[in-house]
Chain A
Amino acid sequence: MREVISSSLSDSEGKPEFDQDLVDAMRWFDLSDHDRALTSELGDIADDVGERIIEAFYTHLLADETASRHFRDDAHIAQVKKGQMRYFRELINADLDSSYIADRRRIGSIHERTGVTPTLYIGAYAFYLNKLANVVLDRMEDDPAKAFSMVLSLFKIAHFDMALALETYADTREEAIKARERELSELPTPVLQLRPGLLLIPVVGTLDSYRARALTIQLLEGIQEHRARAVVLDITGVAAVDSAVANHLIQTMAAARLMGAQPVLTGLSAEVAQSLVKVGVTAEALSTAGDLQRGIELAEHLLGE
């Protein structure tokens, strides 16, 4: 069910089609055609009082300093009001299909981008529902049971809407985090020449396979460019060292060796060294030195100085 609501974002660009995910999602919200039929009957009342509720809402909204900051001028307010009218009309009687979901998600992502917080969004929603429900119960005094079930159906759809919006918020954030991670992993690792023939590469952050590949390329290019014969790879700044990271390091160092440079690994903490050995990473594949200074000394020794 969760997939629904999140996966429909990627579908939104393509053709809207009826899918199993949507069916599952609607089942989870206990939403049926019956609910849709009931809320559609609210159409007249909603149209009738919609504008008034929205006006009241804006009075409420513009009185709030944080919320009112979202509006530039009256023209902007008018435009957003129009959008809101449409939004609430669709809540009452739009078909709950893939294009509805895509549209709700689009609105969610606009909200996320423009800084409309979930509190603001859900608060606005609650305001509208509360006002509308009161009007409905009022006007249908002669059939309160029916009025109540109409309102309940409306609440179901509203919750479905809010779930869509929140999923979109989370997805948008997640995309942003992923993009940042990609940027970070693309940060170049400096290749420093300490003296002719000797390179130092401080590795910082997370060493995933993408980054390890980039590191290997940089290392090999550095060896070629500087005609290096020894390379000190310092991993003091690597957040987590496990067998996968060790594997990347072993391969990077093997590549350096093939290029004719002696690699020395430094910066393993005592705890990490111990756990790597227990995991089964053997030291034969890695020439290591206790700390950076010793690493450089060892590299110099390897250079024959």
Chain B
Amino acid sequence: MQVPAPLDAMVQAIRRDADVISARQMGRALAEDLGFSRPDQALVATAISELARNIVVYADHGEIELTTLQQGDRQGIRIIARDHGPGIADLERALCDGFSTGNSLGLGLPGTRRIMDEFDIRSPPGEGVTIIAVKWQLR
């Protein structure tokens, strides 16, 4: 059984393309509520989209969890993408532009890392992939 998410977190189970859209919309709405600029709302939505899409394509199912962070007087959005799929054998390569084991552009992970302020990826053998990414509000 999974560790439950903190109470203020929003979770979207990711199983198919429609869930990617739901997660993305959830993220955009949260970013809007927190007063992120429109371009930043789009960045958050895109990051969620990329991470959720990876879950559908590579892990079959997983979840996206969104939490609001507070640091001093600025707020941020933390995205956690979690799956229990086969994991990523070579994290370093997976973070390189253009590397893909699927038939894609290979921009999902490196692209997400570029558009977020913080990015951490873990894939211990046999435990799927957990990605934590944070976007802070511009001051």
- Known A239-B21, A247-B104: A271·B114 in contact at CB below 8 Å: no
A250 to B105, CA, bound (A): 10
Number of residue pairs spanning A and B whose beta carbons lie under 8 angstroms apart: 80
Label chain B's interface by main secondary structure.
helix
A244 touches B53 (CB 8 A): yes
Label chain A's interface by main secondary structure.
helix
A residues near B42, Cβ cutoff 8 Å: 269, 271-272, 274-275
A270 to B37, CA, bound (A): 13
A243 touches B18 (CB 8 A): no
Q: Which residues of B in the span 99-139 have a Cβ within 8 Å of any Cβ on A?
A: 104-105, 107-108, 110-112, 114-115
Flag whether B67 is at the interface (Cβ < 8 A): no
Partner among B16, B20, B57, B112 whose Cβ is within 8 Å of the Cβ of A279 = B112
Question: How far is the CB of A187 from the nearest CB of chain B, in Å?
Answer: 15
Nearest residue, chain B, Cβ from A181 = B18
Flag whether A206 is at the interface (Cβ < 8 A): yes
User: Count of chain B residues with Cβ under 8 Å from any Cβ of A?
Assistant: 27
Partner among A240, A274, A280 whose Cβ is within 8 Å of the Cβ of B49 = A240
Flag whether A31 is at the interface (Cβ < 8 A): no
Nearest first, the 10 A-B pairs at minimum CB distance are A279-B111, A271-B42, A242-B49, A275-B46, A208-B17, A280-B107, A243-B107, A278-B115, A275-B42, A247-B105
CB pairs A–B below 8 angstroms (11 shown): A181-B16, A240-B45, A242-B50, A243-B53, A243-B111, A244-B108, A270-B39, A271-B42, A279-B112, A279-B115, A280-B111
